[in-house]
Chain A
Amino acid sequence: MRRLYKSLAVVFCLMFLVSCASWEQLSKDQQARVVLDITQEQLSTWREAGKQWVLALPETTDEEKELKLDKAKMWNSNVLPAMQVANDWIYSLMQELSKAEGSLDRYAVQRLVNPYISRVVFLLVEMGYIPE
């Protein structure tokens, strides 16, 4: 089994080394699309894995039901809204980057990022991670 893990690790390392060498061959537009594609897929993976976890929580006893209810409420009121913010942000990036052929100047990036940072901070305050 360890050999299998090692072999997999070596394959991925090799793929990455070759990929890094090829990365510069891509245009800015292609690089932006590759990164956004992976980001979008990872967001879907997070959402699906999290939802499956909430749905699979046991609910035999009242205590388990209360815990499951608590997690489900947390999921709907905190986690999903944060993911919606992330998805909106990815959309804005896609729109701007498609117009700018994959490359944005720093002011465009600031203009895009600032409102989302404010929304993420607001969510973190709501969730209690940052004191008001």
Chain B
Amino acid sequence: MAAAALAAVLGALGGAQGLVALITALSNTLFALWKLANQILGKENIPSWEDLMNKNRLEAEAQKADKNEIQVLIDRLESELDK
């Protein structure tokens, strides 16, 4: 739900690009709800604590990688604007 709200804000701010983010986040949210229901109903395995901590570690690595990726974008835009 929160992802959908964030995506709505992005959608309002970013036009067509925001709309793509909106649709992606909305579909991911629906998928998460579907997964939640399946886990509760026992149709899908509930991840172990080890699986969850592994996911958390991967998320931390992805956050660092994203920060570097955006920093490259910042450096490039700054140098282009300085010219």
Contacts and interface: CB of A to CB of B under 8 A. Distances in A.
Contact of B41 (A12, A19, A65, A87): A19
A87 B3 contact: no
Nearest to A56: B17
A129 to B, nearest CB: 14
Interface string A23-54: 10010001001101110111111111111111
Interface residues of A, number: 53
Interface in B3-59: 3, 6-7, 10, 13-14, 17-18, 20-22, 24-25, 28-30, 32-37, 39-42, 46-49, 52-53, 55-56, 59
A55 B73 contact: yes
Contacts of B35: 38, 41
Contacts of B47: 33, 37
Contact of A94 (B39, B49, B73, B81): B49
Contacts of A22: 40-42
A16 to B, nearest CB: 7
A47 B40 CA distance: 26
Contact of A72 (B22, B63, B74): B74
Given A40-B52, A72-B70, A75-B70, A65 B80 contact: yes
A94 B47 CA distance: 12
Interface string B56-83: 1001101100110111011001101100
Contacts of A41: 28, 32, 35, 55
